[in-house]
Structure 1
Amino acid sequence: MRIALASDHAAIELKALLAGWLHEQGHEVSDLGPHDGTSVDYPDYGYKLAAAIAAGEAERGIAICGSGIGISIAVNRNPACRAALVSEPLSAQLAREHNDANVIALGARLIGPEMAKACVTAFLSTEFGGDRHQRRVDKLSNPSL
């Protein structure tokens, strides 16, 4: 699977850990930055990740900042993205199954590496449930439905 990751400066270590782990599992990984601890603005990287998803450059995305909140808001500004902030695997699973989330957001200051991996595993291994959920997901990108 093609997976894009982006973060802010508070989350570069978790992003790098997840990128390496995903690569080891055979995924095609795009690290959209940043690549050092210089202070950056999370919206810039959230928008960059959203653009990659919208352009079809990645099938799924992982957005990470200190809390996960700010970067998830930035990603969700793009109508092609459905980003869900998760902190445990059940939320990641339900975000895929019910909401067809194509991006998860993680808070690097709130969860550890093993919980982050568990969330990513649930996110990547769960299929969208379709059926009754489809009309609701359609409304997320088109409120007039």
Structure 2
Amino acid sequence: MPAQSAEQLWKAYNETTDTNGASYQTRWFGEQNNPAEVQAFADAILAGTKTATTTPLDTYTAEQVAIPQVGDYNVLLDGNMKPAAVLKTVVSELIPFYRISGEHAYHEGDGDRSIGDWRKRKTEEFTPVLEEHGQNLSPDTPMVSEVFEVVYRNN
């Protein structure tokens, strides 16, 4: 029977492996008030199309949220805010916007997966977010570049 809560899914995962007392956070991709978008991202992650993400460093500092670290666990939530999988961060780097690689853009799984398309999409996405915090997007804007893997699925 599938887990009905993040806590149940985390417990089920812990029964299959030794996480050495690690903890988890819940996480979803996209806007929470747009369940279809959140579901589409969750589906892409579960399909293996999306294995990476990028977020302006300013977003973490402005929201006082910890920057992902290698070895962090997250319970991925779907469009209904139900647990879908456990993710583990395998890479977390601070990189200037224009130094994000084509490989990373490909692994984000958006659009045509090219670096040109990625830059266009992320410029449109990040510009208003940074402006809300009194910042501007530039080639040198620090980005948190993260790669994650699905380590457990909610079956």
TM-score range, shorter chain: under 0.3
| Bigger fraction of residues in helix | 1
> Which fold has the larger relative contact order, with Cα–Cα distance below 8 Å and residues 6 or more apart in sequence?
2
Give the TM-score normalised by the residue count of structure 2.
0.25
